[in-house]
Structure 1
């Protein structure tokens, strides 16, 4: 009989990172991929698989056709997806953000000119509710590329750094993260740091640098273990041919068009004017190339001119200390801000920095408006949301309006993370808060404009924030053995520079940080330290401007915002308030036109369109949940008559005995001589015994 037992060529390596052991395995799963690795930390496992077409896209392009997808399978946590179809649907916010983290870390490592379509998939196949899979997915993705035949030669890795009681923690557990004052994902290669993403609770500048210093040795260890795995299971890298510009095109560009391109950079600080001038120059260049290069003429002209712009704009900064728009390296673009533009919005602001503008609008809602976020291991609710929109008209482009893409989701989350530590607690301010940042025009740093505009709109809405929040995007240009740090970079500097990092915070400290580096060698820590210091100076300048527009939150919310009130009732009264089948609470909400939410601990939240309706609902709830009090006078309804007295309902569901001797000052023979069923009678509570029984008196109130 034939033996069908499969032989697997399995290779495993492991490394200790922080206090955890991480294992990398290849050869068991996804063997037809160019490279596949399973990374395991605790009982969290990520499978990463990489594939490439092996064929360069035709033509010359500086764009790397890389697609990264991070996916969380619900079976990883022993769950079945919700919804009608019972299967995973569109990517969640967590999946989108994690995909971006992987992409931003591995993209700079691919060789220049490499244009073979490449796909990297990182899939969470087991989750232990302790270890976050995002940093593990960076390691698995890099390892799958390192051992593959794809020309990705330098491993990268990522760690999460938290800080608790002044101590830095490498890859803190999810439980530990809750008590940390910072949460940074830091990624890089052995040469340097490439990517940082995270938030903090107003920490000092030095904390960010210290976190990077803590992360680097751990990253190095994970890079080394990938090289070890490559020795065991690596494939030879395939060869590819990079198409280059014909030398004749380069010579013509340098000889005839360089000076004009340089003049455009010097003469035009306005983005649209400069773009129009460059377009006209490209058209002239294309016409000269058409006879010799046909359909490739426009592509060659565009690339040659972009190379010139790259060199000349960097030379301006490095040799003359001047930027394309005439600013000095530390100079901020002109600022403008205003609030209260939209009369019916709860809070609104228009923040403009140079040619970048955000219309930020804050809306206050009820607890019912909170965003439910279903994760692999738990379900949470977001009380503060920030949504970022980047329409085509913001850059003068004619393009279809689609649902938010990865960039918009990422920018929105960065701005949300920046403002979140400054949002008051639900106990202080019981509203659900949503900020929308619609970018009206853009020339770089639109996410930071969203932070500034969002802060202003929240002040205008009367949200009692701990402090205003400002943000700034920084850049760096390297050459001739030095780095020049640029404050408040515009679009061209972002595109042609070596680094883009964004810093947000209050006057007290940093609340969010994001960095992307294009250099494979990373950015030296001393340069990053200078950049953070320079960014803080820029942020304070911007915050001074913002405080001239609105110095503190408005004392009251908009008259168009819902009125919200919280009260506490005894837990044993919850059932009485709700009523059989929700009868009581439904009656109150319908008659008072309010929204009422009842928590398990007895907290009742009332949301109403105005104060009058809120007072009506509050009075109803007070009456239904009140406890009888001795010596208090009540108006009650006679609900039962007995030979010895009458039972009077003094509170909803609460009766008291009015003894026959307590009805009149004089003796009566029958209760019915004075009272009848349904009568409304004023009585005084004279006693509540140990069993909670209430004794009433009418006689005590008679003159």
Structure 2
């Protein structure tokens, strides 16, 4: 066969390595202890700029090498701070949450809205109610009778949330994955069709991000749906746990930020209610974790989740009894399936007439269940009266 290709060994410039370790290590160690994300990044960038300027003549093409060495040194400093000093870059203890604030009804004309802020991560949740049979999402699947989705969660991560300027394109890996995780966390408490005959579209727009934006989406979604009057069974909160492990020592971090996620060994997201977990996701870079580490991580996650739920309950503790005045009014009635043709009429003439006279949207399924949606209760009741006369 062909001879094996020999890959060149990574370049090592001893002069640069030794100078950076001696001259700027202390600057980097001080920089990773700056509490705010942008000043911290600026301080690290300044140290890198010093190195590039120092070697601009002796090693003019070394910018990429210096950048890689800087990343290696930042990682070393972050891990030393956590494992040896047992301190975090923003001054918190290992099991401490960032500052959390919650607001509801931040957008006046939506069916429900909430703003959840945790440190430098902020999620704007918006709830929109729609009509069964018309607004639910039709899925293409392997089954012929793939049921449509009644609860839909969309997660948006615009470039400005991390201070970037780039084109706004379609959903990528992050949007799809984080949205699916948040949707799973909230769907466990979503009411049945009989309890709540509405389609719900929940949108999370990340306005600012410094770690754990998917779990912030869970919290904003729970708050927003309760503000909209969606009768979810319990409030749901989410938290991201981290792990730093090296040479037999380890530290488990509650509510990790971006720096700890990037240079750590685990990102373990846990979402749930006061009674239990509704969704889990783990990204593990350590190659495996022990049972003791997992048990401690779940214990810290529960403690943090309950603290978050206490804060959320201080803003809204239960779903509102009344829907928003801007939400559609939906009434469900059952008729004899044999009478469906009377409601629809020849060529749909009758149902179109009811829609024109009342302004309501009407959907009739094969079982005889009729969904009537209108912008106000008078229009919906008018449509119900006409249908009752026909059947």
TM-score w.r.t. the length of structure 2 is 0.97
Tell me the residue number matched to 2:348. 582
Distance, in Å, in 1 between the alignment partners of 2:316 and 2:254 is 24
Distance, in Å, in 1 between the alignment partners of 2:58 and 2:138 is 60
Tell me the residue number matched to 2:273. 506
* CA deviations over 1:598-623 (Å, ceiling 9, x no partner): 11111111001100100110000000
1:308 offset after TM fit, Å? 1.3
Tell me the residue number matched to 2:104. 339
Find 1:299's aligned residue among 56, 64, 74: 64
Tell me the residue number matched to 1:131. none
1:244 offset after TM fit, Å? 3.5
1:237–1:516 distance in 2 versus 1, CA, 3 Å = farther
Tell me the residue number matched to 1:552. 318
Q: How does 1:190-229 map to 2 (within 5 A)?
A: none
1:564 aligns with 2:330: yes
Distance, in Å, in 2 between the alignment partners of 1:568 and 1:413 is 34
1:282 offset after TM fit, Å? 1.0
Corresponding residue SS for 1:559 = coil
- Runs of 4+ in structure 1 over 6 Å off: none
1:314 aligns with 2:79: yes
Tell me the residue number matched to 1:464. 231
1:571 offset after TM fit, Å? 1.3
Tell me the residue number matched to 2:383. 617
Q: How does 1:389-404 map to 2 (within 5 A)?
A: 389-404=156-171
* CA deviations over 1:527-556 (Å, ceiling 9, x no partner): 111111111111001110000011111111
Distance, in Å, in 2 between the alignment partners of 1:472 and 1:238 is 46
1:294 offset after TM fit, Å? 1.7
Distance, in Å, in 2 between the alignment partners of 1:542 and 1:293 is 51
Structure 2 residue ranges without an equivalent (≥5): none
1:281 aligns with 2:50: no
1:441 offset after TM fit, Å? 0.5
Q: How does 1:296-445 map to 2 (within 5 A)?
A: 297-367=62-132, 368-378=134-144, 379-445=146-212
1:238 offset after TM fit, Å? 5.3
1:278 offset after TM fit, Å? 1.0
Query: How many residue pairs align between the two structures?
Result: 389
Q: Which has the higher contact order (CA 8 A, sep 6+)?
A: 2
1:485–1:412 distance in 2 versus 1, CA, 3 Å = same
1:478 aligns with 2:245: yes
CA contact (8 A) 1:349 1:453 kept: yes
Corresponding residue SS for 1:418 = helix
CA contact (8 A) 1:357 1:439 kept: yes
Q: From the two aligned structures, give the one with the greater strand fraction.
A: 1
Q: How does 1:518-667 map to 2 (within 5 A)?
A: 518-520=285-287, 522-625=288-391
Corresponding residue SS for 2:56 = helix
Find 2:38's aligned residue among 272, 277, 299: 272
1:455–1:256 distance in 2 versus 1, CA, 3 Å = same
1:564 offset after TM fit, Å? 0.2
Tell me the residue number matched to 1:49. none
Distance, in Å, in 1 between the alignment partners of 2:201 and 2:244 is 37
Distance, in Å, in 2 between the alignment partners of 1:380 and 1:239 is 54
1:457 offset after TM fit, Å? 0.4
Corresponding residue SS for 1:306 = helix
1:591 offset after TM fit, Å? 1.2
Distance, in Å, in 1 between the alignment partners of 2:6 and 2:325 is 67
Distance, in Å, in 1 between the alignment partners of 2:291 and 2:389 is 65
* CA deviations over 1:120-152 (Å, ceiling 9, x no partner): xxxxxxxxxxxxxxxxxxxxxxxxxxxxx9xxx
1:437 offset after TM fit, Å? 0.6
Corresponding residue SS for 1:439 = strand
Distance, in Å, in 2 between the alignment partners of 1:543 and 1:566 is 34
* CA deviations over 1:21-63 (Å, ceiling 9, x no partner): xxxxxxxxxxxxxxxxxxxxxxxxxxxxxxxxxxxxxxxxxxx
Q: Which has the larger radius of gyration?
A: 1
1:449–1:275 distance in 2 versus 1, CA, 3 Å = same
Aligned-residue Cα RMSD (Å) equals 1.5
* CA deviations over 1:382-425 (Å, ceiling 9, x no partner): 11011111111111111111111111111111100000010101
Tell me the residue number matched to 1:169. none
CA contact (8 A) 1:456 1:546 kept: yes
1:245 offset after TM fit, Å? 3.7
1:480 offset after TM fit, Å? 2.7
Distance, in Å, in 2 between the alignment partners of 1:617 and 1:399 is 49
Find 1:260's aligned residue among 18, 24, 27: 27
CA contact (8 A) 1:374 1:380 kept: no
Distance, in Å, in 1 between the alignment partners of 2:117 and 2:88 is 20
Distance, in Å, in 2 between the alignment partners of 1:444 and 1:380 is 34
Structure 1 residue ranges without an equivalent (≥5): 1-148, 150-234, 626-703
1:237 offset after TM fit, Å? 7.3
Distance, in Å, in 1 between the alignment partners of 2:322 and 2:308 is 26
1:377–1:237 distance in 2 versus 1, CA, 3 Å = farther
Distance, in Å, in 2 between the alignment partners of 1:254 and 1:269 is 23
Distance, in Å, in 1 between the alignment partners of 2:357 and 2:348 is 14
